[in-house]
Amino acid sequence: MTENLQLGALLAACHWIGQKGWSLATGGNMSIREGDAHCLITESGKDKGSLTAEDFLLVELESGLAPGGRRPSAETGLHTMLYSRYPETGAVLHTHSVNSTVLSRVERSGALVLEGYEMQKSLSGQTSHLDQVVIPIFDNSQDIPALAQKIMASAEHAPLQYGFLLRGHGLTCWGKDVAEARRHLEGLEFLFQCELQRRLLEAK
């Protein structure tokens, strides 16, 4: 029953993401954990704003494969990586918003540092605008297994928290359940918009 409720919540989140314009065309992918060995993830090539329950595939965390020959999202390996490494993760959302895509290219370093924004407190565990929220940025790659290994190697030294950006690609974020992942997505998108606007104004 809980898993069915989570799928319903994920469908609602996907439709909301579509309405926001954060995953245009067939971009992006979303998933929820399904027990210890599987996740449910969006099938490749689907419009996220009009998904149904039938558009999610049961995928093995170990192999990343779905039964029946249907093709899960191209970034499935990034979802299975997060579920395998962080057992507390219950939902993963990957979006392609303009703000996250542009900021990931404008910021030349390996991380976007957010500081001084009250909305940082929308992220679990954040209690002050004075703290720093560090969102790692990784170069985009079509080789998902190699990219996953690179991200995990980085996480050995700096554990992932809330999300990461792929340069010129978008945001991947997560939470203990769909509600938390959705809150992290909305909070980060607001912070990205603020940060991009701040940089534009300061450049004038």
Structure confidence by residue, pLDDT tens digits, 36-66: 999 999 998 888 888 999 999 999 999 888 8
48 within 8 A of 24, measured Cβ to Cβ: no
**Bridge partner residues of 33 (DSSP):** 39
d(CA 142, CA 127): 37
125 within 8 A of 186, measured Cβ to Cβ: no
In this prediction, residue 97 carries a pLDDT of: 96
Phi, psi of 40 (to 5 degrees): -105, 125
In this prediction, residue 1 carries a pLDDT of: 38
Name residues of the chain where pLDDT drops below 70.
1-3
> Which of helix, strand or coil describes residue 118?
helix
In this prediction, residue 27 carries a pLDDT of: 87
In this prediction, residue 3 carries a pLDDT of: 58
> Does the pTM exceed 0.75?
yes
d(CA 82, CA 66): 17
Phi, psi of 124 (to 5 degrees): -55, 130
Residue type, 181: A
170 within 8 A of 105, measured Cβ to Cβ: no
81 within 8 A of 43, measured Cβ to Cβ: no
In this prediction, residue 77 carries a pLDDT of: 95
In this prediction, residue 178 carries a pLDDT of: 97
Here the tokens at position 159 are 């554990």
